[in-house]
Structure 1
Amino acid sequence: MVRKLKKIVTSKPFIFSALAGLFVFIILCAVFMRYIFSGLPPVYEMEEYTPSLTTKVFDRNNTLIHEFSIEKRSMVPLEDIPVDLQNAVVAMEDRDFFKHAGFSIRGIIRALLYDLISGRAKQGASTLTQQLSRGVFLTQEKKLIRKIREIILAIQIEHQFSKPEILQLYLNEIYLGSGAYGVKSAAKKYFDKELSELTTGEAALIVGLIPAPGRYNPFANPDLARQRRNLVLDVMHQQNYISKDELEKAKAEPLPEKQPAPEDKPGQYFIEHIRRVLEPKYGMDVLWKAGLNIYTTIDIEQQALAEKVMNQKLQEYDEQVAKGLGIEIDPNDSEAEAQTETDEEDSADKDPKADYPRLQGAFMVRDVKTGAVRVMVGGRGFDESKFNRATQAKRQPGSSFKPYVWMAALQKGYTPATLVKDLPTMFYYDGRNWRTFDENSDLYSLDLAKQNFIASKEFNVWVPQNYGGRNEGWITLRKALEKSKNLVAVNLIDAVGVPSVVRVARKAGITAALPRVPALALGVSVVQMDEHLAALSTFANGGIHTDNYYIERVEDANGRILEQHIPIESAEFSPQNSYLLINMMKGVTQRGSGAYVARLGRNIAGKTGTTQSHRDMWFVGMTPRTAAAAWMGYDDDASHEKGARFTGSTTARWWTEIMQEILKDEPNDDFTVPEGISFAYVNPITGKLAMPTERNKFLEAFITGTEPQSF
C-alpha cells in the first residue's frame, strides 16, 4: 500500500500537476497582490500631505475676520494638543499604539470572530495608524480588499513616520461631526474654546465622538453623549491616565447645552467681494481648501461702527416715513419685514406693518492716496440681502456729479470767482441734438418759442429748475457749487460742452455709460458707489488717480506670497485745477448743502446729491487722507416723499456721525496748496477784487495770473 502511494506520488503526471497547481496559485497570488498594490498611493505623499485647510482673512491690523472652509479644520502641532486629549484617544482607540507596527493581530482576530458570529462586517479593529491611512488615502467602505490595503499602508506609514508624528496627523485629520475636522475645530465647535482651555471632561467628550459623531453629539443626544464621555473617562482611569479624584471631577462637569451661535460678524459684504475677486483667479478648491492667508485693507473696527450707525439711522428714517404714511410700526423692530406673528386663523389678514417702506443704504471709506478700502457696507444686513449696493448697484448720483462739470469749467479757464448764469434756460431736441434756446437772439419769449416746436413729433423740450425753484441771476462759480445750483450746472455744461464733461469723468475714473445730454450735469447717469468715490478722490489727491483695492497680499499655507498689491498712479488733472475744485468743495461743507459736516471741525471737501423725487440721496466727503461716500434710497427706485422728504443733506448727517469716530485719530491737515496757486480777497457777490474796507470779503484761490484785476 505504501509502496503504491510512493509510486503515485513519484509519478511524473502527479508531479507535473502539483507543480502546475503551485504555479497557478503563485500567478493568482501575484495578480491579486498586484491588484492590491495598484490601488495603493505612494506613502511618501504623506510627507507632503495637506488636508483641506481653512483659508484665513485678516484686516489691515492682522485681526482674523473670516475663514473660508469646506471642512472646519486647523492644523496644530502635537505639543499644543492637551495631554489628556492625547491619552484619551490612545486609551479608547488604540491602547497598544506605542507598541504595534501599524496593525494588531489580536484585534483583527477578535473583529473577525465578532463579524462571523453577528453575520455583519461591524467590527473594524483598526489601529490609529490604520484609521489615519483610511482617512487620508482610502474610502470608508467596509470591504476585505480595502482592509488589506489599509494594513499595508499602515505598515508603510509606521516605517516612514514616528509615533508622535502619526498621532499628530491623526488628531488633525479625524472627523468629529458638525463639519469639524481635527480636535482644534471640535473644541471651537462644541465648547467655543481653544485647545489649551479644554478640561479633562471636555477632552473626553471630544474623543467619545470619534466612532459616531452624530450619535454622540451632545446637542442632539445629551444622554448618550454623557454616557460615552463617562466611558472614556472610566477607560482613562483604568489605564492610569487620570486619578480617582480627576475621574469624579470630570464626570461632574456639565455638558454643553447648546451649540455656540455663529457671531453676526461685521464686514460680510466685504468678505463676499473678496470671494468674488479671488475665486475666479485661484479656483474654488484653492480658495476654500488650500489654507491661504489673505491680508486685506479693511479696518474691521471702523467697519463695525459704520454698520451700526447706518442701520440705526436708516431705521429712524423708516419710522419717520411710516409715520408720514399713517403706518404704525414697532420702533424696536429693525427686521426687514417688520411683521408680527399672527394666529393661524388670522394669517390671511394682511399685516399693515409689512407694507411700510424700508430704506437701504451703502457706505464706503477709502484711502485718498493709495485707494485702500477701509470700510464697505453694502446694505442693512447681509443675511437679508447679499446684493452689494456699494459695488454692484448703479444709481443716479444727482448733484454729487457736479464736480466733474466744475472741473471741465476750470479747464476752460473759469475761476472760482467767475460769474456764471443762474437763470432759466430752455433746451429743445431738434431730432438730432439738444440745443439751447436763446431768447435774446431769437426775439421770442420761452413760452412763445415752445409753441412753435410743440407740433413736431420729434420735439422735446426741457426747462430745468433749481431745487426750491429760486434763481439768483449771476453768481460766482464757487457759490453755485456751494448751493448746488442746477441752472448753473446745465448752463455750464452747455458752455463747455457735454464731451468735455464726459472726458473729465472718464479721466477721473468713471467707466459707466454717460448720456450725451445737458441733463448729465445734474447726475442723470447711473454710477457705482465704489467708482464714484474713487473718481472724486482723484481731485483730493492733487489730480492723481488710484483705483480702489481690497487685498494687500495673498500667501499660501507655507507663507509664500502668491500676489501682492502694487500701487499704480496716473496723473489725470493738474494739481492747480484739482486744488481749486477741492477748495470750492470745502465751501459745500462750510456754508452750503453739506454744512452739517462742519461740526466735525475739520477740513473736509464734499458734495451732496439728491435725485428727482428724492429717489437717491448721496454725500461724498474727503479729507486730505480719507474719502467716504454714503448713499441711501429704495431698492425698487421708489420715492416716498409723502412719508418724509430726505435729501443729500440727510445722508450727510449719518455720514458725519460715522466719520466722527473714523477720523478721530487722523491729524486735522488741510489740503496741500500746490505751486502756481495764489490767493486774493474778492467780493463774494461780484467776484471782483474786494476793497480793503469790505467786511464780507472772501479769500479766494486762483491759478497765478488769473486773479481779478479790478474792484
Structure 2
Amino acid sequence: MNYGKRGIVNQAKELNSGTDKWGKKFSLFGFYILLSLIIGFFIIGASAGIGVFNGIIATAPDITNIDVTPSGFSTFVYDTEGNQTAKLVSTDSNRIPVTMDMVPENLAHAFVAIEDERFYEHNGIDIQGIIRAAVRGITTGNFSEGASTITQQLLKNNVFSGWTNETKLQSVKRKIQEQYLAIQLEKKMSKDDILINYMNTINLGSNTLGVQAASLRYFNKSVSELTLSECAVIAGITQNPSRFNPITHPENNTERRNKVLRKMLEQGYISQVEYDSAMADDVYARIQNVNQETGGDSTVNSYFVDALTNEVLEDLIDAGYNETQAYTLLYSGGLKIYSTQDPKIQAICDEVYTDESNYPEGTKYLLAYELSVQSADGTVTNYSSEMFTSYFKEQKSSFNMLFNSSEDADAAIEEYKAAVMSEGDTVLGEKINLTPQPQVSLTIEEQSTGYIVAMVGGRGAKTASRTLNRATDSYRQPGSTFKVISTYAPGIDSAGLTLATVFNDAPFAYSNGTLVRNWWGSEYRGLNNVRAAIRDSMNVIAVEAITLITPQLAFDYLKNFGFTTIVEKEVINGKTFSDIQQSTALGGLTKGVKNFELNAAYAAIANGGVYIEPKLYTKVVDHDGNVILDNTQANSKRILKETTAFLLTSAMQDVVTSGTGGSVNFGTTAIAGKTGTTSDYVDVWFAGFTNYYTATTWTGYDNNAKMTNSAEKNLSKTMWRKVMEKIHADLPYSSFSIPDGIVSATVCSRSGKQPIAGLCDGTLYTEYFEEGTVPTESCDVHYAGTMCAIDGCPSTESCPFKTAGVFELTPEVPAALQSGFVNYTPTNSAYTTVTDENGNTTTVLNTCHHTAEFMAQQGIDEIIAAEQAAAQAAAAAANPEAAAEAPPETVVDTVPENVAAGN
C-alpha cells in the first residue's frame, strides 16, 4: 500500500470514480447471488436427500411383517427305531435349526468377538465401526472393510436375499434400509434371539447352513458338544466360506481361527489358559478324519430312501401341493419323515446282497456307453450305446453289450473309438457305466401292517440317488408266480374251484391254436388236482383253469390285488394289447409287474385275504412339528375270503415242502410260496411268506438276456432263503392257523370227488375245503367192469378185446374247455352229458366202437385181425424189449391191466 502523497491522491480519485463505484456494486451483487445459489442448492440438495432417504425408508419392508427365521432346512428320514437314515437337502437348505440353550457359550462369544464386538452395546448399527471403516477407507483407499453388525447381516441374509446381484445404487439403497431395519428389529427382538437366528442362517461352507449342520459336517457331533477350538474354527468360516473352509483350506482357516481366539481373549471371553489350550489343539487332523469317515459331501441315498422320497412327493401332490411346491417342501422344508424301514432286517438284506460270494461265478457286466467327438473342423458327433451295439452286431449278431470283465469292455471301447474317430478328432466327453449281471431285487413287507421293512433295488455299487430301483421301477414278466393270484385265487374264491378240482394235463391250445407247453417238456401227466398243479407249477392246467373261470374274472381280481401295470386295452405301435387273455395265467403280460406290487399281492394272501396298500412311511412332520401327511391308518380292503387265503396258503406250503420251491425251506417256521420262471429263464422269481413277513425276490439281466446255468436260474430262491433264514433266526416257530369255515374231507385224488368203496381205496386223500364246497358227486374216474384194449373205453357186450377189472376213465371235459383240447371228441371222455328236448340232462357212459351193429358187418374177422395186429404193433413200439421176449403167434385178446384212458 502506497501511503505517500501521490498514493493518497490516487486513492481519493478511485473513491470518487463513478465507474469504480458501479463495478464494486455489481461485484457485491454477484457475490450475494452466488451465495444465494449455493445456499439454495444446498437446501434443495438436502431436501432432495431427505426426500430420497425418506423414500428409501418408506419402501423398506414393514418391520411388523419381517421374519428373520431361516426358511430352508434339511429334511430327515428316520427308521422304525428312530435312527436317522438319510438327510435330504437342496441348495440353501442344508440347515438344522438349534435353540440358544443348545449352543455353547464359547460359540456365541466367538461370533460376537470376530463379527461384531459391540453387539451387546449398539442398537442395531455400530457408529464406531462405521467411522472406523470410513477412516480406514479414506486413509488407505480401500473401502472393503465392512461395518455391518450381526443384526444387519441377519437382515441381509433373510430379508434382502437378492443382494449378491445388486448394482452399486441398489447396494446403497439396501444398506440404508438395512441399517434402518436393524434399529427397528432391535426394538422388537432380544439380542439372544437375533444371535441364534444368525447362527442358524449363516453359510459355513461345504454346503452347510447354520452351526448345527456345520458341526455335524466338520466334527460329526452336535453343536452342543463343540470345544473352544472347534467353536473358533466354525466362527472363522463366516467371512468367506470358500476361502476359510477347514477341509479344503485348513491353512486359511487356521489364521482366521487364531484371530478369533485372539479377539475372544482381548475382549475377556476366555482366559489365557483357555486360549493357550485351544491354540495347541490339533483340530484340523480331526476334521480330515471325520471327512474321510463320513465320505465327504457326496451322499447317495439307499434304494429304500429313493422309493420313499418318490412316495412322499406323490402324496404331497395328492394332498394339494403342486409339483414344485412338493419338491421344495421335501428338500428344503425341514421335514421329519418317519419310515417303515426296520434297520435290523435292512442290515440283513444289505449283508446278503452285497456279498459277492452269494452270486454265481462268472459275473458279467452290462455296458452303457456314450461318446462325444469333435472333429478338426469343429463338428461334434455324439455316439450312443445303440450305435455301439450296431457296430459290434455287424461282426457278431449275438452281441448284446455283456462282457466277462471290465477289461474286455475297455478293449471294446478302444476298438470302437478307433473305428469312429479320425486323425485330428478329440474326445469331448465319454460316459462309461458297467453294471454287474444278473441283477436282483427284493421287497420285504410286514403283511399285518403293510409296512415295507426292507428293500434292495439292485446289485453293485449305487453311485447316485434316485437311480433305477428294480424293486419299484422295473416292469418284469412275473412268470408262474401269477398262477396263484390270477387264476387259482379267483377260481377258488368265486368260481367254484377247490384244491381237489381235477383237470387233465393233456395237449391243450390257446384260442389262437398255439399249444400250451409245460415247463418240463413235452410230457403230459394226465389227471391232476389244483393242489398238485400249484405244487408242481403245471402250465397246461393253469391255462385250462383261467379259461374255465374266464380271463375277465382273473383281470378283475388282479386289479383288486393292487397291480397298476396290467393292461385292459392299450394300443402300442398300432397294435392292440390286453391282459384279459389266457396267457395271463402264466404271467404273460403286456408290460409286466413291479416287484413291490407282486409282493403286496402275496402279502394279501398271507394277511388272510386282506390287501393293505404297501407303505414306506407312517407320517411326515413339518419344520414346526405339524403333521402334514398322516399315513398311520392302513388303506386296506378284503379281496379274498379268509378261507380262500388259507387254502392257497396250504397249497403253497406244498410248493416249499415237496414242490418246485423246496430249496427255500429253512425249517424253523412254516413257509408258503410260489416259484416263477419265464420262457428261457429271462426272469426268475420267488414270492413267499411266513406268519411274520412276505418277501419277493427277482433275478434277471437288465437287457433280458437268458440265464443259462443252474446257479443263475436258482438265484432268487437262494437269496430268498439266505435273507429270510437270518430274519427268522430268533423268531419262534409259527404255523399257519386254520380259520373258521374250513373243513376237511376225504376224496378221491383222481377225480376230486366222493370216493367209491372198493374202487378208490388206493387213491384216497384228505383235503381242506371251505364249508359248503365239499364235493357231493361220486368219483367219475374209477370204473369197475370191462375195458376195450383198442379204444381204451368201457367195452360193449360184443367187444372181442374186453378184459375185466378196475380202470381209470377220463372224466367229461367242461364245455368251456372242449375246444382247447387237441383233437377233442366226446369219445375222448368216458362220459357224455346229454340234454333232452325238455332240458333234462343225463350222463351217458361212452363205450367202445364194437357195437352189435359193428360186429355184424361183413368181413368182421379180417377187421378184428387188423385191429389186433395194430394193437400188437403199438405195444411193440411202446415196449420193444417185452415184444422181443413175447412168444411168436401170440394173440392179444385182453387189455393189459395198466392201460388207462388219457395217458
TM-score range, shorter chain: 0.7 to 0.9
User: For 2:288, which of 242, 257, 275 is the aligned residue?
Assistant: 257
* Alpha carbons 2:363, 2:404 under 8 Å: kept: no
Matched with 1:246 is 274
In structure 2, do the counterparts of structure 1 residues 265 and 94 end up closer, same or farther at CA, with 3 Å as the change threshold?
A: closer
Shift of 1:628: 1.5
Matched with 1:400 is 481
Alpha-carbon separation, structure 2, partners of 1:571 and 1:207: 60
Tell whether 2:61 aligns with 1:61: no
Tell whether 2:138 aligns with 1:116: yes
User: For 1:276, which of 292, 303, 310 is the aligned residue?
Assistant: 310
Identify the range of structure 1 (404-413 vs 81-90) with the bigger mean alpha-carbon deviation.
404-413
2:362 partner SS: helix
In structure 2, do the counterparts of structure 1 residues 596 and 315 end up closer, same or farther at CA, with 3 Å as the change threshold?
A: closer
In structure 2, do the counterparts of structure 1 residues 122 and 265 end up closer, same or farther at CA, with 3 Å as the change threshold?
A: closer
* Alpha carbons 2:359, 2:715 under 8 Å: kept: no
Tell whether 2:540 aligns with 1:487: yes
* Alpha carbons 1:338, 1:354 under 8 Å: kept: no
Larger Rg belongs to: 2
In structure 2, do the counterparts of structure 1 residues 355 and 219 end up closer, same or farther at CA, with 3 Å as the change threshold?
A: closer
Residues 172-229 of structure 1, C-alpha deviations (whole Å, 9 max, x = no match)? 1111111111111111112222213322211111111111121122222222222222
Identify the range of structure 1 (258-267 vs 302-311) with the bigger mean alpha-carbon deviation.
258-267
Shift of 1:631: 0.7
Partner amino acid for 1:527?
A: V
Shift of 1:149: 2.0
How many residues get paired? 659
Identify the range of structure 1 (288-297 vs 629-638) with the bigger mean alpha-carbon deviation.
288-297
Residues 633-692 of structure 1, C-alpha deviations (whole Å, 9 max, x = no match)? 111111131x55633x53122112212233446554434433221013556566567899
User: For 2:496, which of 375, 400, 413 is the aligned residue?
Assistant: 413
2:81 partner SS: coil
Shift of 1:556: 1.6
1:311-710 matches, within 5 Å, as 311-312=354-355, 316-317=359-360, 319=362, 339=406, 348=414, 358-380=437-459, 381-383=461-463, 386-403=467-484, 404-410=486-492, 411-427=494-510, 434=511, 461-511=514-564, 512-513=566-567, 514-525=578-589, 526-565=592-631, 566-641=633-708, 644=710, 646-647=712-713, 649-664=714-729, 666=731, 668-681=733-746, 687=752, 699-707=766-774
Shift of 1:468: 4.5
Shift of 1:701: 0.8
Q: Could you tell me the TM-score, scaled by structure 2's length? A: 0.67
1:214 partner SS: coil
2:634 partner SS: coil
Alpha-carbon separation, structure 1, partners of 2:490 and 2:680: 27
Alpha-carbon separation, structure 2, partners of 1:355 and 1:102: 59
Identify the range of structure 1 (163-172 vs 302-311) with the bigger mean alpha-carbon deviation.
302-311
In structure 2, do the counterparts of structure 1 residues 361 and 545 end up closer, same or farther at CA, with 3 Å as the change threshold?
A: same
Alpha-carbon separation, structure 1, partners of 2:236 and 2:626: 38
1:287-306 matches, within 5 Å, as 287-306=330-349
Unaligned regions of 5+ residues in structure 2, if any? 1-20, 366-402, 418-431, 568-577, 780-903
Q: Could you tell me the TM-score, scaled by structure 1's length? A: 0.84
Alpha-carbon separation, structure 2, partners of 1:109 and 1:66: 48
2:306 partner SS: helix
* Alpha carbons 1:614, 1:645 under 8 Å: kept: no
2:442 partner SS: strand
1:563 partner SS: strand
Identify the range of structure 1 (305-314 vs 262-271) with the bigger mean alpha-carbon deviation.
262-271
2:666 partner SS: helix
Residues 156-176 of structure 1, C-alpha deviations (whole Å, 9 max, x = no match)? 121111111111111111111
Alpha-carbon separation, structure 1, partners of 2:200 and 2:330: 20
Matched with 1:171 is 199
Residues 350-391 of structure 1, C-alpha deviations (whole Å, 9 max, x = no match)? 99x999961111111223233222222222244268112122
Partner amino acid for 1:133?
A: L
Shift of 1:395: 0.6
CA RMSD after TM alignment: 3.6
Alpha-carbon separation, structure 2, partners of 1:356 and 1:29: 69
Tell whether 2:63 aligns with 1:43: yes
1:542 partner SS: coil
Tell me the percent identity: 30
Shift of 1:400: 0.3
* Alpha carbons 1:600, 1:656 under 8 Å: kept: no
* Alpha carbons 1:303, 1:374 under 8 Å: kept: yes
Alpha-carbon separation, structure 2, partners of 1:265 and 1:622: 34
Alpha-carbon separation, structure 2, partners of 1:354 and 1:288: 28
* Alpha carbons 2:362, 2:404 under 8 Å: kept: no
In structure 2, do the counterparts of structure 1 residues 236 and 320 end up closer, same or farther at CA, with 3 Å as the change threshold?
A: closer
Unaligned regions of 5+ residues in structure 1, if any? 323-335, 428-433, 436-459
Alpha-carbon separation, structure 1, partners of 2:704 and 2:665: 30
Alpha-carbon separation, structure 2, partners of 1:468 and 1:356: 34
* Alpha carbons 1:588, 1:605 under 8 Å: kept: yes
Alpha-carbon separation, structure 1, partners of 2:35 and 2:539: 112
